[in-house]
A and B are shown apart, each in its own frame.
Chain A
Amino acid sequence: MRQMNPRESFWAGAKEITPILMGIIPFGMISGITAVNVGIDRGTAMLMSVFVFAGASQLAAYQLIASGAVSFVIVYTALVVNLRFVVYSASIAPYFKPLSTPWKWIYAYLLTDQGYAISLIRFREDEDVDPLWYYLGASVLLWITWQIFSALGIFLGSAVPEHWGLDFAIPLTFMAVLVKSLDSRPSIIAALVGGLLATAAYNLPLNLGLIIGVLSGIMAGYWAEAAGRPRRGSDAS
């Protein structure tokens, strides 16, 4: 198979991320609108969008800011939501080995669910594409789209009156995210335990309820998986 040159690889990445951008557009707008709606000033909202550049964790932070959570819990929860990047980082690291340190930092900063997903699929499928340029094409286009539509949302958000209750779009967005992660029995158990415990313990001081909910949900999922795995010798059917 003919090897693609850097430019072709870059544009292949940009082209293949395009259908995914249809989801990034409303996500970015909701993120911008809700940031302003929960009382974050425009400048900080834009800083968040540029420097954090991780929509789900931003929405989690906005939700907690709206409910008056303590700062530590807001940061903690946002980072727990972003723990998945560690897994992405590990599986994409072999392809980034040729990069110099500054470029590794830039590539790491650009790591997203979508950019990671299409890149890894493409890298494993065929060898014709230059992985470093393909990833850059996909990630840069996603970055630009996210920033433009976040900014648009931040701009529009100040025009939307608070009594419209647009902050309700945060849990709704997360529902769409949640159903995608519920792909097995243990993950459903993790969600049920996490949600119910966080709700039951909601009024504990320092938002301990949320931390308890998240940790017990994770443990419940982990144990459900261990319990569901056939033990040695018992699966000889």
Chain B
Amino acid sequence: MSGSTLLWITLAMAVGTFLLRLSFIQFFADREVPPILERILRYVPSAAVSAIILPAIVYVNGTPDISLGNERLLAGAIALGVAMRTRSFPLTVGTGMAIFWVLRWLF
């Protein structure tokens, strides 16, 4: 990706994110979030984060690999278990990376 494309992406993200943050503080200070919008927004983090993670660990160079040979899938599954049990950010990332490196070194 070219440097100028990355700059445009950065600019668009910066302006968009700022407007989301500013929205009610500046423009609708006297209004509440409509209940239906609030109910929809409740599920954005779960849906979006999961839609980003799962393809990133299932696909290897553009093809799905659901086998033990896919180190990211195996390490990711174990890390998910650690995340659910400990809810700890350093432990999740640490365990996941360690298993990933060991698997790559073994096979």
Interface contact tally, CB-CB below 8 A: 271
Contact A44:B10 (CB < 8 A) given known A87-B38, A176-B92: yes
A79 / chain B contacts, CB cutoff of 8 Å: 13, 16-17, 20
Once the chains bind, are B56 and A39 in contact (CB under 8 Å)?
Answer: no
Residue contact A40 to B25, C-beta cutoff 8 Å: no
CA distance A193 to B42 in the complex (A): 15
Quick check: A75 and B13 within 8 Å, CB to CB?
yes
**8 Å CB contacts to A: which residues of B74-90?**
75-76, 79-80, 83-84, 87-90
Q: Which of B22, B23, B58 contacts A199 (CB 8 A)?
A: B58
Partner of A89, one of B8, B16, B24, B84: B24
Find out whether the CB atom of B20 lies under 8 angstroms from the CB atom of A222. no
The reply on A90 being an interface residue by CB < 8 A is: yes
| Minimum C-beta distance from A64 to chain B (A) | 8
A217 touches B88 (CB 8 A): no
Contact between A93 and B29, CB atoms less than 8 A apart? yes
| Whole-angstrom distance between the Cβ of A223 and the nearest chain B Cβ | 10
- A40 partner residues in chain B, CB cutoff 8 A: 6
A105 to B19, CA, bound (A): 9
> Interface segment, A5-13, A125-133, A151-159, A182-190?
A182-190
Q: A85 and B17: CB pair below 8 A?
A: yes
Does B44 count as interface, using CB distance less than 8 angstroms? yes
B51 within 8 A of A: yes
Residues of A within 8 Å of B49, CB to CB, are: 56, 81, 174, 177-178, 181, 191
Output the least CB separation between A157 and chain B (Å): 15
A175 to B82, CA, bound (A): 10
B45, B50, B58, B75: the one contacting A192 at CB < 8 Å is B50
B55 near A: Cβ within 8 Å?
Answer: yes
Task: Tell me the complex Cα distance, A169–B98, Å.
Answer: 11
Complex-state Cα separation, A210 to B56, whole angstroms: 11
**B68 contacts chain A at the CB level, 8 A cutoff:** no
CB neighbours of B75 from chain A (8 A): 168
Residues of A within 8 A of B (CB): 23, 26-27, 30, 39-41, 44, 47-48, 51-54, 56-58, 60-61, 63-65, 67-68, 71, 74-75, 77-94, 96-97, 101, 104-105, 107-109, 111, 164-166, 168-182, 186-188, 190-199, 202-203, 209-210, 213-218, 220-222, 225
For this complex, 6 residue pairs linking A to B, each with C-beta atoms less than 8 Å apart, are A79-B16, A175-B53, A175-B83, A178-B83, A198-B50, A221-B46
